[in-house]
Every structure is written in structure tokens, then in C-alpha cells.
Amino acid sequence: MIDSATSADVSTPSPTEKHDHMKPTESDDEDVDQECTVFSGVSYLGAQNIADPKSESDIQRIMKELSSMPESRDGIAVSISIPVCSQGLVVLYQADSNSVMTRYSVNRISFYARGAAGSPVASCFAFTWSHGETKESAVYRCHVFRCHIAEAVNQVSIGIFDEVVK
């Protein structure tokens, strides 16, 4: 489900602000000011390491594993903010408090995939992201989400991640 509250303001980060683009930014209640689309009605199912971050078959397998695990059956209720440009941040907000949980720099996302149509993971989507201090020490993780309304996966995919992650 698309949240009608789409940020229209774009701001430039302070030149003195240091940001490590290699790992997600843990945050308190700091909001992110960027042009984006916010999707609510989403659950974060978790993440697993992935050897080949561009392997759609591995991503599909991880989606299936995480969505079938009892401890991640419901996942963590989140809203996900997806920027309209490749220089932005994917931001996860706690659904109940709307506080920022974590941020992922789009330029560190390697691949995006949605669950196979007609499969048990048809309402899921995932992206692979590089965690680590340097490219040489990077560990790729596949982050998996489930939309509460299966058709919303298409809205997340079409024109959003497909345009941003190239």
C-alpha cells in the first residue's frame, strides 16, 4: 500500500556530516528528508548472507526460507521509504512509532527481486546490500520483505526499485 505522505522536499546533507555508505545507518527518531515514495503495510522478514548478490535463484530461495520460518512468519511491521533517485536512502520505519529503524544507501544495493508470481512468496520482495567497511571485506546480505497486500509488490517494483537500482 502506498502511503499518501510522500516527501517532496530534497535537502543536501551538511558538508561536515560524515556518513559511512558501507553499512546501514542505525538511527533514533531522525527523519530523512528526501523525495521518496513510502509504502506501509509491509513486514521485514529478516536477512541472510548471500554469496552471489545478483543470483535471483538464491534470492528466491532466501525469500522462501525466511517467509516459512515460524519466528519470521509475521516479521517486523515497517513502512519502507524508497527514494526516486539513485543517490538516496532506502529507509525502514517502525510501523507503530514511525521512527527510523535503519537506512540503506541505494548505491550499495546490488540487486532487487520480487517473489515469483503464483508462488508462496509472491507477496515478497528483497534486495541485496553490501555490509562492510571496504569492498574487499564486504559481506552481501539479502533483506526480505512481505507486503500485506500481495498486489503492492508490483507497485514497489514498477518504477521504484526498477528505476533506482540499475
Q: Which domain holds residue 73?
A: 34-164
pLDDT tens per residue across span 97-136: 999 999 998 888 889 999 999 999 999 999 999 988 777 7
pTM metric for this prediction: 0.76
- Residue 3 in domain: no
H or E stretch covering 62: helix 56-68
- Residue 49 in domain: yes
Q: What b/e readout covers 94-124, taking b as 16+ CB neighbours within 10 angstroms?
A: ebeeeebbbbbbbebbbbbbbbeeeeebbbb
pLDDT tens per residue across span 7-58: 333 233 333 333 333 334 444 445 556 788 888 999 999 999 999 999 999 9
Q: How many domains does the chain have?
A: 1
Q: Greater confidence, 29 or 93? A: 93
- Residue 4 in domain: no
CB–CB of 83/164 below 8 Å?
yes
- Residue 21 in domain: no
78: left (phi over 0), alpha (psi -120 to 50) or beta: beta
CA Rg, the chain, in Å?
A: 15
At 118, which CATH number? 2.30.29.30
